[in-house]
């Protein structure tokens, strides 16, 4: 990094959904993200979470456990994961990304000392590429609105902090970002999530007659297949990985400090 790099000195994290990918990573990073934001079926086992935390600690990296939206069944699994990851993370400590208000509620009650990061599902940003089609027709206040997140509203940011949230996880929007205040932010790149579902389109797609309205059966097709969706009305291709659509944005903001971005989260691949 050159001295003029606005991202010099910013904490670098790399996100992994599987232990083998984490172990194979030999690039630089200060922190490891491990887990899944969008699907509780892809939550790691407690043993894998502990192994990931230990692997991070052995290389001198901080550790963040990433959790998805959860049903009660998923919540029960996270209840086992957190203590295991916390014990394995050691002195460096554990941070947890929460993407579910219920999970935040439970973490604040049961693990009040663990710093939380408010995940991308809860930091509301409009990420869809269609903004590029209408940007020229939108009033300036609408553009500015779409560059911001509701989590930066001061009274909400204050309350989040009281609940143990120490940072917010943000996507790198095609329309640009705007922040004047709010909690410190992590910025994900190069993939921004756009939408997600429990009616996973990939699950069961290898067999004819899939019921689009059903949640099953899942044979983890997402670990084998990816898709790119294109349409003349969609200004950027959508990347479909499992139950989630992403866009790719390689251009980072020029002024991370002004946006209160203190961490960059690299996703080598969509989760």
Of residues 18 through 47, those in contact with another protein by CB under 8 A are: 41
- Residue in 205, 187, 174 with CA at minimum distance from that of residue 255: 187
Sites for another protein among residues 72-101 (CB under 8 A): 72-75, 100-101
Q: Exactly one of 18, 92, 156, 236 binds another protein (CB under 8 A); which one?
A: 156
The CB-of-42 to another protein minimum distance in angstroms stands at: 11
CA dist., res. 256 & res. 176, Å (int): 12
The CB-of-59 to another protein minimum distance in angstroms stands at: 28
Q: Is residue 149 near another protein by the rule CB under 8 A?
A: yes
- From the CA atom positions of the chain, what is the Rg in Å? 18
Q: Is residue 216 near another protein by the rule CB under 8 A?
A: yes
Strand order in the sheet with 191-196: 191-196, 244-248, 238-241
Q: Exactly one of 34, 63, 146, 246 binds another protein (CB under 8 A); which one?
A: 146
Residues 242 and 222 sit within 8 Å (Cβ to Cβ): yes
Interacting residues of 86 by C-beta distance below 8 A, sequence separation 6+: 94, 111, 114
The CB-of-1 to another protein minimum distance in angstroms stands at: 31
- Residue 46 or 103 having the CB closest to another protein: 103
Tokens 């209408």 sit at which residue? 134
Q: Is residue 105 near another protein by the rule CB under 8 A?
A: yes
- Residue 23 or 150 having the CB closest to another protein: 150
């Amino acid at each position: 990094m050159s001295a003029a790099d606005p991202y010099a000195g910013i904490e670098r994290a790399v996100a992994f959904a599987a232990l083998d990918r984490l172990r194979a990573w030999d690039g630089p990073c200060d922190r490891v993200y491990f887990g899944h934001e969008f699907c509780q079926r892809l939550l790691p086992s407690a043993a894998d979470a502990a192994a990931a935390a230990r692997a991070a600690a052995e290389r001198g990296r901080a550790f963040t456990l990433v959790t998805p939206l959860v049903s009660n069944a998923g919540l029960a699994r996270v209840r086992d994961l957190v203590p295991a990851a916390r014990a394995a993370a050691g002195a460096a400590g554990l941070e947890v990304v929460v993407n579910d208000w219920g999970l935040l509620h439970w973490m604040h009650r049961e693990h009040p000392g663990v710093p939380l990061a408010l995940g991308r599902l809860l930091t509301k940003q409009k990420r869809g590429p269609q903004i590029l089609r209408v940007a020229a027709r939108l009033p300036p206040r609408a553009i500015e609105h779409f560059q911001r997140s509701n989590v930066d509203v001061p009274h909400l940011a204050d309350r989040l902090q009281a609940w143990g949230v120490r940072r917010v996880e943000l996507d790198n929007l095609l329309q640009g970002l705007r922040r004047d205040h709010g909690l410190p932010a992590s910025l994900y790149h190069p993939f921004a999530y756009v939408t997600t579902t429990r009616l996973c389109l990939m699950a069961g797609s290898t067999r004819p007659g899939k019921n689009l309205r059903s949640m099953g059966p899942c044979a983890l097709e997402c670990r084998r297949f990816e898709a790119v969706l294109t349409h003349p009305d969609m200004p950027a291709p959508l990347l479909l990985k499992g139950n989630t659509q992403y866009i790719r944005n390689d251009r980072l903001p020029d002024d991370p400090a002004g946006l209160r971005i203190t961490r960059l989260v690299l996703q080598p691949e969509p989760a």
